[in-house]
Chain A
Amino acid sequence: MAFKQLARKPLNWAERTYLPQIIMGLKITFWNMLKKKVTLEYPDVRPVIPNGYRGIPTLVKDPKGREKCVSCQLCEFVCPPKAIRIQPGEIPEDSENAHVEKAPKEFDIDMLRCIYCGFCQEVCPEEAIFLQKVFSLSGYSREEMVFPKAKLYELGGTYPDQHYKWEKKRSAAEENQANGHG
């Protein structure tokens, strides 16, 4: 490709003193000193995380303290980096939630593998797994970073429930029983 070479324009007298440039630079500096701060004193000060942020995935309980996960293993199936490991188990018949029948015996998420894609939250038919706003995790060993069920519930806490699906099922059963069926 053809190109044209241009001669550099010689600096004029004012430019040769460099003073206008220095003054311009200082102007920006002083103006920024008066402006509101955009940085934070991390980690002493933490940023406000917007809603919908995808941090670490955790298990949650419903407001009545029932563990919502029924170990259907769809999150394990959908998880792209295979970070989730579930060992399904049965809820004993004398338990309060016996009508749910199934709950995870073990539920591990390897936080070193997790890519925070949020597929697990999206696929969960029981609304039992949610991505939290926690974005920084650290540990001293790889084993420590595989979070077991207890830790996931501790981090997840309680979430509001709009359906109480299993509660409804139980009350329907009781109603039918009262009507002589079932």
Chain B
Amino acid sequence: MKEPENNFISVFIDEEEILVPSGINMVEATRLAGKEMPHYCYHQKLSVTGNCRMCLMEYGMPLTDRATGEPILDRRGMQKIGWLPRPAIACATKALPGIHIRTDSELVRECRNGVMEFLLINHPLDCPICDQAGECSLQEYASDYGRGYSRFVENKNVKPKRTRLGPRVMLDDERCILCSRCIRFCKEIAKDDVLGFIDRGSYSTLTCFPGRSLENNYSLNTVDICPVGALTSIDFRFKMRVWFLKETASICTESSVGVNTLAGCREGKIYRITPRRNDEVNDTWMPDSGRILHNPVDSDDRLVHYTIDGKHTLVEEAAKKAADILSKGAVAVVGSGRASVEEQYLLRKIASAVNAVSVSLVSRTGEGDGLLISADRNPNVRGALLTGLIEQLPHANLTNLATDVETGKVKTILSLGEDLTQCGLGRDLLEKSNLIYFGTHCNETGEVAHVLFPTLTVFEKSGSFLNQQFRLQTFHTAVPGPAGIRPDIDSLGKLLHCLDPETIPPSNTVDIWASMSSGIPQFAGVSVENIPKTGLLIDGSQWAQLPFIEGKSLHYDPATQQSEAMNISK
């Protein structure tokens, strides 16, 4: 047997020995061994109930003589394995040191065939109209273990097909295989115990408790974890088949938690946003409110023209004009906590090139829910700290800037994506100053801007955000932006080049990271290609004393964060 090293134990899967962390179950162990253990009810982040019986396997332990404790050897001199006469479920079997399991024996295959046949007895087989088709475990395992035809000649059970469990979730009871993942999710993760089974046997039906409905802000996670098409999203229902969707890794901009997401799109249109597993940030969950953030991408009020004083122009002309205005001095820069780290870095360079009077950020706050929405609704305030754009935490209103404009200290404002009329600067004040505005959608600030740069939404560009844990996470281009609109870093780079002809405009994020990793000590050695999928923790101890407003959430505790930072700084 291999030597166990700190908390790793040795298990034998189909006679192959592997080391696995102790305490995991045999489904996870087989996955580590690169094999598949089919399962429906088991989910890594939920408790084990073992009611689907799909993960049945054979297991046995090495035999020892009970009297002497000596191992019993077979004829070859190997320790004999005491195989259990009946199968056991892998999800509820912990990996024990020396355990042997068979995942592909005759008995195991027969078990799976039997379970599949029973599950399909009452299944309506309406795959052509089912939204889960293409990512359905029942479909997948039916092709692996199903018999291809049904021996069941009686009428199938008929259950309600269109039950609204809540404002966002639709239930088709016929498709339900009673795995209870959704029930456990609501109870254990969302802490909103509303679902349960009623009736018995094959008449068992999933329902909400009387007078309740599935309306918490995490309800759509039940749709994600449903292994079949029983729970479907009302928003995504019948919109597009999943096999058409190309999924791109993205980051949710809802709050500073930085939930990892996948944007499913086809031909330049985003159809749905689903969570991407990251055990350090969001496990496999995301809030419902983050799933509709792709709607503004397609809206009709997108800015699509580079504009100087209301006239359409080219990006180069706009950059030249903006540089002319900026070089006159008395400039205030308003950055954004929604901009990527790369954009904030370029903005800081612009701010220092024009000797900006003030650089500010606008804060957005809301109530945190203790799970995956934090109080800080800007995804990237820490990026602005790291890049040196700001030194203090932002305020919701730009009162200082308003007084500066009134007194004439500031004559030009450069705003990166912030609608200034929403943060304490009236239209009259903006008209008094020269305004350069970078924005995605039409708004009042865009109307009064002298030079207007249309920008891209988070789904249309690549970059990175620093979340509340100072974790650097990258997002990628899911859909192309409106025709003719350059990425934000491109427009900012061109503007910087016009201000300071010695700087070469960066052509992509790699160029910016090359400059950032040499300029910012915390980013030393970081390049955008080697940021892992789970993100890269950046040392934020320098800012540990700042009064961040985030409370405790799923994988974040401000108290431990601060004490860790103190330890690092010591």
**A interface residues with partner B (beta carbon < 8 Å):** 70-74, 76-77, 88-90, 93, 99-102, 125-126, 169, 172-173, 175-177, 181-182
A90 to B155 CA separation, bound complex (whole angstroms): 26
Chain A's nearest CB lies how many Å from the CB of B528? 34
Question: Which residues of chain A have C-beta atoms less than 8 A from B158's C-beta?
Answer: 172-173, 176-177, 181-182
Q: Is the CB of B241 within 8 A of A73?
A: yes
Q: Is the CB of B129 within 8 A of A77?
A: no
Q: Is B209 an interface residue (CB 8 A)?
A: no
Q: Is the CB of B155 within 8 A of A125?
A: no
Q: Is the CB of B157 within 8 A of A181?
A: yes
Nearest residue in B to A101 (C-beta to C-beta)? B129
A175 to B298 CA separation, bound complex (whole angstroms): 47
A76 to B158 CA separation, bound complex (whole angstroms): 31
Instruction: Report how many residues on chain B are interfacial, defined by Cβ distance under 8 Å.
Output: 20
Q: Is B127 an interface residue (CB 8 A)?
A: yes
Chain A's nearest CB lies how many Å from the CB of B47? 31
Q: Is the CB of A101 within 8 A of B128?
A: no
Q: Is the CB of A88 within 8 A of B240?
A: yes
Given contacts A73-B240, A77-B243, 18 further A-B contacts (CB under 8 A): A70-B128, A72-B127, A72-B129, A73-B244, A74-B128, A76-B244, A77-B244, A88-B238, A88-B239, A88-B241, A90-B237, A101-B129, A102-B238, A175-B155, A181-B158, A182-B157, A182-B158, A182-B159
In residues 215-273 of chain B, which contact A (Cβ within 8 Å)? 237-241, 243-244
Question: Which residues of chain B have C-beta atoms less than 8 A from A126's C-beta?
Answer: 128
In residues 105-137 of chain B, which contact A (Cβ within 8 Å)? 124, 127-129, 133
Q: Is the CB of A100 within 8 A of B157?
A: no
Question: Which residues of chain B have C-beta atoms less than 8 A from A72's C-beta?
Answer: 127-129, 133, 241
Q: Which of B128, B157, B239, B241 contacts A125 (CB 8 A)?
A: B128
Chain B's nearest CB lies how many Å from the CB of A164? 15
In residues 14-36 of chain B, which contact A (Cβ within 8 Å)? none
Chain A's nearest CB lies how many Å from the CB of B564? 50
Chain B's nearest CB lies how many Å from the CB of A129? 12
Q: Is the CB of B155 within 8 A of A176?
A: yes
A12 to B161 CA separation, bound complex (whole angstroms): 93
Question: Which residues of chain B have C-beta atoms less than 8 A from A101's C-beta?
Answer: 129, 161-162, 238
Q: Is B191 an interface residue (CB 8 A)?
A: no
Nearest residue in B to A74 (C-beta to C-beta)? B128
A88 to B128 CA separation, bound complex (whole angstroms): 12
A90 to B240 CA separation, bound complex (whole angstroms): 12
A102 to B133 CA separation, bound complex (whole angstroms): 14
Question: Which residues of chain A have C-beta atoms less than 8 A from B128's C-beta?
Answer: 70, 72, 74, 102, 125-126
Chain B's nearest CB lies how many Å from the CB of A163? 13
Q: Is B197 an interface residue (CB 8 A)?
A: no
* 8 sampled A-B residue pairs with Cβ under 8 A: A77-B241, A77-B244, A90-B237, A125-B127, A125-B128, A172-B155, A177-B158, A181-B203
A76 to B244 CA separation, bound complex (whole angstroms): 10
Question: Which residues of chain B have C-beta atoms less than 8 A from A99's C-beta?
Answer: 161
Question: Which residues of chain A have C-beta atoms less than 8 A from B241's C-beta?
Answer: 72-73, 77, 88
Chain A's nearest CB lies how many Å from the CB of B486? 30
Q: Is the CB of B162 within 8 A of A93?
A: yes
Task: List 4 A-B pairs, minimum CB-CB distance, nearest first.
Answer: A72-B128, A102-B129, A173-B158, A182-B158
Nearest residue in B to A170 (C-beta to C-beta)? B158
Question: Which residues of chain B have C-beta atoms less than 8 A from A71's C-beta?
Answer: 238
Nearest residue in B to A98 (C-beta to C-beta)? B162
Q: Is B156 an interface residue (CB 8 A)?
A: yes
A157 to B415 CA separation, bound complex (whole angstroms): 61
Question: Which residues of chain A have C-beta atoms less than 8 A from B243's C-beta?
Answer: 77
A181 to B129 CA separation, bound complex (whole angstroms): 24
Q: Which of B127, B129, B133, B159 contacts A100 (CB 8 A)?
A: B129
Q: Is the CB of A70 within 8 A of B244?
A: no
Chain B's nearest CB lies how many Å from the CB of A148? 19
Question: Which residues of chain A have C-beta atoms less than 8 A from B237's C-beta?
Answer: 90
A77 to B241 CA separation, bound complex (whole angstroms): 10
Q: Which of B129, B239, B244 has the most chain A CB atoms inside 10 A of its CB? A: B129
Question: Which residues of chain B have C-beta atoms less than 8 A from A173's C-beta?
Answer: 158
Question: Which residues of chain B have C-beta atoms less than 8 A from A175's C-beta?
Answer: 155
Q: Is the CB of A169 within 8 A of B240?
A: no
Question: Which residues of chain A have C-beta atoms less than 8 A from B203's C-beta?
Answer: 181
A173 to B161 CA separation, bound complex (whole angstroms): 11
In residues 484-502 of chain B, which contact A (Cβ within 8 Å)? none
In residues 173-210 of chain B, which contact A (Cβ within 8 Å)? 203
Question: Which residues of chain A have C-beta atoms less than 8 A from B156's C-beta?
Answer: 172
Question: Which residues of chain A have C-beta atoms less than 8 A from B129's C-beta?
Answer: 70, 72, 100-102
Chain B's nearest CB lies how many Å from the CB of A83? 15
Question: Which residues of chain A have C-beta atoms less than 8 A from B161's C-beta?
Answer: 99, 101
Question: Which residues of chain B have C-beta atoms less than 8 A from A100's C-beta?
Answer: 129
A182 to B159 CA separation, bound complex (whole angstroms): 5
Chain B's nearest CB lies how many Å from the CB of A92? 11
Question: Which residues of chain A have C-beta atoms less than 8 A from B133's C-beta?
Answer: 72
Question: Which residues of chain B have C-beta atoms less than 8 A from A93's C-beta?
Answer: 162
Chain A's nearest CB lies how many Å from the CB of B124? 7
